[in-house]
Amino acid sequence: MQRYFVPSHQWSEQNLVIKGDDYHHIVNVMRMKEGHSIICVTNGVSYVCEVHDIQDQTVECLIIKKLNENQELPVKVTLAQGLPKGDKLDLIVQKSTELGLEHFIPLQMDRTIVKWDHKKEQKS
């Protein structure tokens, strides 16, 4: 099921209006019709919605039910990573955070070529 992040000002108590790029994606890319279901998210809360009416530049959806989604992992993950060359450390931290990493420990290993810059340490 497709998931769309809709700003809170486009929501009312029983329905919501989708505009712009999401409208284009629903109508032209996914070719959804009235009656199709989607997931809409606002302020971190997800709802199952049904496409109710498709107009010229808007899609009106009815809110069917609220989803109780727990986004946190059931385990706490810590990654101890040796210092890589170049800017790879930024990518490693970014991707592991996206996967749900709780703690990150950069390590200076015996065979590590890169030396830790203490100026960088003070930035973070």
Domains (range + CATH), the chain: 3-67 (2.40.240.20), 78-116 (no CATH)
Tokens 């991707």 -> residue: 95
Q: Per-block average pLDDT, block size 10, for the chain (124 residues)?
A: 91 91 94 94 90 93 89 84 85 90 88 70 55
Beta carbons within 8 Å of 13's beta carbon, 6+ residues apart: none
Reading the block at residue 95, the tokens are: 């991707």
Q: What is the pLDDT of residue 123?
A: 54
89 φ, ψ (degrees, to nearest 5): -60, -40
Q: What is the pLDDT of residue 38?
A: 95
Q: What is the pLDDT of residue 117?
A: 67
